[in-house]
Structure 1
Amino acid sequence: MDKAVEEGFISPSARQIIVSAPTAKELVKKLEEYVPCHERVASKLNWEMEQLGYSKTYDISR
């Protein structure tokens, strides 16, 4: 994975969503401890929505 990041195939922020381990036991432990990091993506999305003039309340009754 690190080589893929170095080569530019995977972005450094996307590297955090890939979990690997040498054994199944270690992998399960890492998956249980995994905490997603969304603040960069969410803040960009909120900014884009504001720039487009969309309100923060959505009508889903349609």
Structure 2
Amino acid sequence: MDKAVEEGFISPSARQIIVSAPTAKELVKKLEEYVPCHERVASKLSWEMEQLGYSKTYDIS
């Protein structure tokens, strides 16, 4: 994975979403412990919504 990031195939921010392990048991453990980081994605989404004129409040009723 690190080589893919170095070569530009995977962005550094996307590197953290790829989880791998040598055994199925270790992989399940890593997946259970995984905590996503949405800071960059959420801020971009907010910006796009503002550009489209959408309100930041949501009516769910």
Poorly superposed stretches of 4+, deviation over 4 Å: 58-61
| Post-superposition CA distance 1:15-36 (Å, at most 9, x none) | 1111001111111110110011
TM-score (structure 1 length as normaliser): 0.82
How many angstroms does 1:52 deviate by?
Answer: 2.5
The SS at the match of 2:4 is: helix
% same residue: 98
| Post-superposition CA distance 1:2-56 (Å, at most 9, x none) | 1111100011111111100111111111011001111110011101211222112
TM-score (structure 2 length as normaliser): 0.83
Which segments of 5 or more consecutive residues in structure 1 lack a partner in the other structure? none
CA RMSD across the alignment: 1.8
